[in-house]
């Protein structure tokens, strides 16, 4: 089968097969003492966002309180069809993985 625009096998080889030649240690490949890594502003922002998310509460306490109040008042209705539909959709997504 011919796929237009596909990458020729020779162009892919270096990405799919490990090199068999040993790598020689030279001055440029050795890590010198005192080397350091500096994060970009975007990376620092992403790191700060991850830390903030880690500190956040995973429970929506206001929503829990509203549902508890509705249950206590007898006004909370369960939509069984909606729950079943979401369970089936999630199951199908799990099957894809």
Mean pLDDT of 8-37: 62
- 51 lies in some domain: no
Contact call for residues 92 and 85 (beta carbons, < 8 A): no
Summarised one tens digit per residue, pLDDT across range 31-85 is: 667 788 888 999 999 999 999 988 888 889 999 999 999 999 999 999 999 999 9
Domain count, the chain: 1
- 80 lies in some domain: yes
- 37 lies in some domain: no
- 82 lies in some domain: yes
Contact call for residues 51 and 44 (beta carbons, < 8 A): no
- 97 lies in some domain: yes
Q: Does 13 score more than 60 pLDDT?
A: no
- 77 lies in some domain: yes
- 4 lies in some domain: no
Residues making up the chain, counted from first to last:
97
Residue 92's domain spans which residues? 60-97
- 12 lies in some domain: no
């Amino acid at each position: 089968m011919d796929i237009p625009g596909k990458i020729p096998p020779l162009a892919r080889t270096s990405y799919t097969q490990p090199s068999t030649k040993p790598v020689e240690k030279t001055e440029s490949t050795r890590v010198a003492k005192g080397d350091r890594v500096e994060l970009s502003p975007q990376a620092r922002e992403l790191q700060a966002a991850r830390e903030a998310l880690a500190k956040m509460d995973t429970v929506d306490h206001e929503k829990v309180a509203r549902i508890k109040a509705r249950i206590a008042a007898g006004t909370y209705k369960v939509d069984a069809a909606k729950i079943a539909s979401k369970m089936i959709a999630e199951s199908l997504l799990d099957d894809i993985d």
